Structure 1
Amino acid sequence: MPINKILYILTVCFFIQGCTETYPLLTNTYEEALVVETTITNELKTQEIKLTKTAKFEDEKYQPEIGAQVFITDDGGNQYDFKDNGEKYISTIEFQAVPDRKYQLHIKTADGRSFESSPETLTTVNPIQELNASVETQDDQRGVAIKVVSYDPNRKSNYYRYEYEETYKIIAPKWTSASMTLDKNNVLVPGVNSPDLRVCYGDKKSTDILLTNTNDQNEDRTNYTVRFISNKNYIITTRYSIFVKQYIESLGAYTYYRSLKEMSGTQSITSPKQPGILLGNIRAVDNSKSKVLGYFDVASVSSDRLYFNYEDLFPNEAPPPYVEDCTPFCYTDVISSGNPCTHVLFNDYKGDLERGRIIFFMPALSNYWVYTACGDCTSFSSNIKPPFWID
């Protein structure tokens, strides 16, 4: 569930007498609040701050808070200004959070509301020691467990948050140079498929809030499963890569993210068991009635990237199922027990062609077809090779 939606649900609970009774989530219960999402890190880069307005329960999109004056100050007398680029606020210069310095976020919206965070300091720096992948069985499902290993001998890290972006190579299993298209007279015209339709790359970012802590351990050591992928998932069929970021969080930030995670898993905001009020570290300066949700997070970060091929972990094993059933098929006037064709010509053929659902398979199998994804991976992914990709 998106953070903005979670925070809006919480706002509804707060404004409707704590949600102690069932209440219909109607648009007329909506009260706008500013939502702040940001993590300032020790990376030397242009830092980002996302400002939005709480969405109505039925809304699918969120309105950005535009035209605000946004800046960060530190106790060394420095000010870092941010400019609105339409989706986020981007720092006008590159900078990084450094140890033993206090940072404070300041926001003044276009309609005159002012907000500021509590002063926050950079957490201890603790790099990822290892990122590895191994075959395991979890919840009766065999697959690949990707784990992050870290260790802080000084026991100053304690609270960890993770994000990842995964990228995977896709090879269309039934690509062929032969193609067929339907002209304006509904006549099949032979052509040639481009080789660029054969190899693609997909990518996804983590959406869950991934947290762990070492408070109940003798050492400040992590071996955290950041991602588990079923061996039936097509994304690991050929070659897979994952880029992981590890944030060391303060107790306040960890508590905030943990509460947010618990809310995202709440079955109903009208149930007797309520998660309570999510308290951040940002407050209204000049108007106590101005509502603000979110957390100004100052955290050290480290990152690592891992690659593996399917055959590295599952040697001599059949690959996972593809996104489509790629068994070649043919069309017939009448389906019968002695006829190898499984699709009805009159009902399916023209419609499938017009919708681009099928492509010609190969001349050796005259009149046999496969679904488009089986021969053209660009139908659901990109054939642009990422600049970081290593084969």
Structure 2
Amino acid sequence: MRFTLSIFLSIQLVFFSCVENFSFESDDEEQALVVEGFITDISYNDAIFLPMDARNFEIRLKMSSPVINVQDQPVLYAEVKLYDDLGNCWDYTDLSTNLRPGVYALMNDDFSVQQDRMYQLQIVLGDGRQYESGFESVPAAIPAGEIITQQTVRPQLLEDETTIANVDGLSLRYKLDPSARAPEESHYVWDFTTTYGYLALSNQDNSSPVRKCWMTTVYDHSQITLVDNVQEELDYELLFFDVGHQWLPEGISLLISQYSVSKDFYQFYDDIQAQEQQSELFAPPPFNTSSNLYPVGHNSPVIGFFQVANQNVYRWIFSPEMLDFAIPYPEWMRAGCDALPPPECFDCTLATPPPRGYLVRDKPEWWID
């Protein structure tokens, strides 16, 4: 069976192309260290009490080349440390032994950024090369806001990529309380993680533990919406969600993370967007983007941005009451479990998760039926 989940974003960015390229030897091109990671004011233990999955902060390291068809390589055996401006130090743990090569985690469940502190990332590779970020201060706290859902109809390009038709959808808007005073110039980043219910359509046993599961999308580089120069009043569309042909009968939810970021970090993502629009799918890594990372005692290039941010999270869960019409299962879903149905029609745990996603049998604690 196939599953489609379309999210039409106001602005959609991809940090690097997800296309896998062929590799070849190239001794003339110097590889660059690529660094991805951030820290926020929400710790692992804080997240336990929020409508999100608890997580430790992570740094991802890989070596990349400006040659388009040279595959990136994860960086192993590095030493990664975090310092604040008082000299406090936190060590990151190499997760290569947990089958996550190139990923380093801050295994401190209580750690969160403090408003009056500045933070610096330091990296030492296995060959002794050192890199560090500048000391990053914490942006101003995010003003209170709310997510507003509005049913609407919009013209959309259909799957045949030639036909435009009106489709029903939900517009998710972020509204800032006019009484809340934002800084004169603020820079916001939103990203989205999607979870939806999957039902084994041929399994009629309501008590079966494998009748319903939950699938979650996970992106190495989040889908992102940017807003700068936020004023006191803001009514901004985060995304338009097409409900015309979606997997909605068993429920769907979006975890919306809002980050208040520095102007330099915003510029970094703005540079990436400009390169993606210019080079499209086959763009090499953004070697000319702005960065707050530097080599120490050598000239090897480094790409990326270590960001310190304030974070708010919103859990949006679809409810049929949001629409004035019923949502049946699409015909292609029902037909897929008719003649010679595949195993996932009886056992939801056998369904294929979305790319870079995962499937769980137990209902998430924050899920509301």
TM-score, length-scaled by structure 1: 0.70
Report the secondary structure of 2:318's partner residue: strand
Between the aligned partners of 1:42 and 1:329, the Cα distance in structure 2 is 50
Are residues 1:237 and 2:249 paired? yes
In the TM superposition, residue 101 of structure 1 has moved relative to its aligned partner by 2.1
In the TM superposition, residue 321 of structure 1 has moved relative to its aligned partner by 1.4
Partner of 2:169: 143
Partner of 2:104: 89
1:270–1:105: structure 2 CA closer, same or farther, 3 Å change rule? closer
Per-residue CA distance 1:81-132 (angstroms, 9 max, x = gap): 2221223222253322112322111111110111111111000111552123
In the TM superposition, residue 249 of structure 1 has moved relative to its aligned partner by 1.0
Report the secondary structure of 1:234's partner residue: coil
Q: Is the 8 A contact 1:214 1:222 kept in 2?
A: no
Per-residue CA distance 1:161-190 (angstroms, 9 max, x = gap): 01221211223344346xxxxxxxxxxxxx
Partner of 1:312: 321
Comparing 220-229 with 102-111, greater Cα deviation is found at 220-229
Between the aligned partners of 1:373 and 1:149, the Cα distance in structure 2 is 41
1:128–1:326: structure 2 CA closer, same or farther, 3 Å change rule? farther
Partner of 1:387: 365
Pick one of 118, 121, 129 that aligns with 2:145: 129
Between the aligned partners of 1:48 and 1:32, the Cα distance in structure 2 is 22
Report the secondary structure of 1:155's partner residue: coil
Between the aligned partners of 1:278 and 1:259, the Cα distance in structure 2 is 6
Report the secondary structure of 1:261's partner residue: helix
In the TM superposition, residue 158 of structure 1 has moved relative to its aligned partner by 1.7
Partner of 1:38: 37
Between the aligned partners of 1:250 and 1:125, the Cα distance in structure 2 is 11
Between the aligned partners of 1:165 and 1:269, the Cα distance in structure 2 is 22
Between the aligned partners of 2:292 and 2:29, the Cα distance in structure 1 is 23
- Mapping for residues 176-325 of structure 1, pairs under 5 Å: 176=204, 195-205=208-218, 207-215=221-229, 219-268=231-280, 277-288=288-299, 290-309=300-319, 311-321=320-330, 324-325=333-334
- Residue type of the alignment partner of 1:263: Q
Between the aligned partners of 2:242 and 2:70, the Cα distance in structure 1 is 33
Between the aligned partners of 2:15 and 2:210, the Cα distance in structure 1 is 36
Pick one of 125, 131, 139 that aligns with 1:109: 125
Q: Is the 8 A contact 1:209 1:257 kept in 2?
A: no
How high is the sequence identity, in percent, across the aligned residues? 24
In the TM superposition, residue 2 of structure 1 has moved relative to its aligned partner by 5.6
Per-residue CA distance 1:178-211 (angstroms, 9 max, x = gap): xxxxxxxxxxxxxxx9933422212114555423
Q: Is the 8 A contact 1:122 1:299 kept in 2?
A: yes
Report the secondary structure of 1:236's partner residue: coil
Between the aligned partners of 1:382 and 1:303, the Cα distance in structure 2 is 22
- Residue type of the alignment partner of 1:170: Y
Between the aligned partners of 2:282 and 2:316, the Cα distance in structure 1 is 42
Pick one of 322, 332, 335 that aligns with 1:326: 335
In the TM superposition, residue 284 of structure 1 has moved relative to its aligned partner by 0.6
In the TM superposition, residue 295 of structure 1 has moved relative to its aligned partner by 0.3
Partner of 1:363: none
Give the structure, 1 or 2, with the largest relative contact order (CA under 8 Å, sep 6 or more). Answer: 2
Structure possessing the higher radius of gyration over alpha carbons: 1
Per-residue CA distance 1:264-304 (angstroms, 9 max, x = gap): 33345999xxx88212111111101x111000101111112
Pick one of 183, 195, 198 that aligns with 1:170: 198
In the TM superposition, residue 375 of structure 1 has moved relative to its aligned partner by 4.5
Partner of 2:5: none
Aligned pair count reads 316
Comparing 250-259 with 76-85, greater Cα deviation is found at 76-85
Report the secondary structure of 1:262's partner residue: helix
**CA RMSD of superposed structures (Å):** 3.4
Between the aligned partners of 1:255 and 1:98, the Cα distance in structure 2 is 23
- Residue type of the alignment partner of 1:377: C
Between the aligned partners of 2:313 and 2:142, the Cα distance in structure 1 is 10
Between the aligned partners of 1:257 and 1:48, the Cα distance in structure 2 is 19
- Residue type of the alignment partner of 1:116: E
Between the aligned partners of 1:208 and 1:96, the Cα distance in structure 2 is 21
Q: Is the 8 A contact 1:256 1:295 kept in 2?
A: yes
Runs of 5+ unmatched residues, structure 1:
10-23, 178-192, 331-357, 360-370
Q: Is the 8 A contact 2:191 2:225 kept in 1?
A: no
Q: Is the 8 A contact 1:247 1:302 kept in 2?
A: yes
In the TM superposition, residue 372 of structure 1 has moved relative to its aligned partner by 4.9
- Residue type of the alignment partner of 1:91: L
In the TM superposition, residue 316 of structure 1 has moved relative to its aligned partner by 3.8
Q: Is the 8 A contact 1:124 1:157 kept in 2?
A: no
Per-residue CA distance 1:332-371 (angstroms, 9 max, x = gap): xxxxxxxxxxxxxxxxxxxxxxxxxx24xxxxxxxxxxx5
- Residue type of the alignment partner of 2:269: Y
1:126–1:156: structure 2 CA closer, same or farther, 3 Å change rule? farther
Pick one of 149, 160, 165 that aligns with 2:188: 160
Report the secondary structure of 1:312's partner residue: helix
